[in-house]
Structure 1
C-alpha cells in the first residue's frame, strides 16, 4: 500500500471512529507492529501505546458497568469486564473497524496472516484507543469507547453477553496454575419432574464454587460462575493490596 492509499485508509477509520486526529502520526504509531519497526528500523512500535490503551479501556468499561448496573456484585462486574475486553472481543471490534487494513507489518508477519490475527488486532485496538486519548484527551477516548461498546454493555442486562462460565474458568485456572477444573454433582433434590442439581467445581484439592440448576449442565455452569466471580474478586483485592504496599514502601 502506497502512502496515498494508506492515508485514505486512515481517513476512513477516522470516519468510522467518529474522531479526527490533530496528530495522525499517533494513529500511525498505533498500527506499527514490532515486526515492521524492526524490519524497517523505524524505532518505535505500538507496544507502549497498547499498555496505555489497556488502562484507558479498563477504566471506561469499568465506569460504564458500575453506572449501568448498580445491583451487580464486584465479582460479577469483574467477570463482565473481562468478557468485554478479552482478546477475542477486541479483535472483533478491530475487524468491524477494518483495522487490518491499517496495520504496518513486517514481511514475515504479513505473509503469516498477521493482519487478521486476534492477538495483533487486539493489541492494535488498545494502541489506537491510547492514540485517541493522547491526541484528544480522556473525554474523547471515553466517547469513542462507549460508542464502540454500547451494544455489548447493554447486552449484559439480557444475558446475551458471552456466558460460558466453564470455558472462562478453565482459561483462568490454566493460565495461573496449568490445571483443569473438575465438576462433581454433590446432590440431586426434588421430585422427578422438578429436579434440582447441586454441583461443585474444584481445582487440585481446593473447592472453588458451588452452584445449582435444573440440569447437570446448568448446575455446573452456575458453579463455574460462582468460582469465576470469586477468583476475579480475589485477584482484584490482591492487586489493590500490592499497590497499597508499594505506595507505603515509597513513603
Structure 2
C-alpha cells in the first residue's frame, strides 16, 4: 500500500506514474540499504523480468527516418538520400512515390503516401526492414 495525503488523493495522485515510480524507486533503495545490492537486484528481476523480456530495441517513439539516420550514423555510414520519383493524382489528392538510397543496400527502398514526408517515412521503414534492423511488426 502507498499512503497519500488527502490532497494527492483528491487530485488523482494515485494514478500519476511519477508518484508510483518515485515510490518504487524508494522501495528498491530501501531494499538496497537494508539487504545489499544482490538482494535489490534479485527483487527487481523478480518484479520486472516479464517486462524486460517484452522490451524491444526499437524506439517506436521515433519516426522511421530518424531511426534509419541514427542506425546509419552509429555505423559511420553515409546518410540516406530520398528522391521523389513520381507524383500521381489531382492536385487535391496526390500520391507521392519516393525512393530511398543507402550505400548498405544494393536496391533502393520505396514508399508512397499522400505527402512527400509520409512517402519518405514509408521508404525509410522499408529500408530498416531490408537491413534487418526491424522486422516490420512494430
Scaled by the length of structure 1, the TM-score of the pair is 0.35
Q: In structure 2, do the counterparts of structure 1 residues 223 and 16 end up closer, same or farther at CA, with 3 Å as the change threshold?
A: same
In structure 1, the partner of 2:126 is 226
SS of residue matched to 1:221? helix
Residue 155 of structure 1 is matched in structure 2 by none
CA offset digits 1:218-250 (Å, max 9, x no partner):
11111112212332148xxxxxxxxxxxxxxxx
Q: How many residues align?
A: 106
Match of 2:25 among 8, 14, 17: 17
1:139 aligned partner: 46
State the Cα distance separating 1:168 from its structure 2 match: 1.5
- Give unmatched runs, 5+ long, in structure 1: 1-12, 28-130, 150-160, 235-251
Q: How does 1:87-236 map to 2 (within 5 A)?
A: 132=40, 134-136=41-43, 138-142=45-49, 162-204=61-103, 206-231=106-131, 232-233=133-134
Structure 1 residues 17 and 137: alpha-carbon distance in aligned structure 2, compared to 1, 3 A threshold: closer
Does the 8 Å CA contact 1:197/1:216 hold for their aligned counterparts?
yes
Query: Partners of 1:164 and 1:190 in 2: how far apart?
Result: 26
Q: What displacement does 1:14 show?
A: 6.7
Query: After TM superposition, where is structure 1 displaced by more than 4 Å over at least 4 residues in a row?
Result: none
Higher-Rg structure is 2
Q: Which has the higher helix share?
A: 1
Matched-pair contact (CA < 8 Å) for 1:197–1:213: yes
Q: RMSD value over aligned CA atoms?
A: 3.5
Gaps in structure 2 of 5+ consecutive residues: 1-20
Q: Which one scores higher on RCO, CA 8 angstroms, separation ≥ 6?
A: 1
1:41-92 Cα offsets, whole Å, 9 max, x none, are: xxxxxxxxxxxxxxxxxxxxxxxxxxxxxxxxxxxxxxxxxxxxxxxxxxxx
> TM-score, with normalisation over the residues of structure 2?
0.58
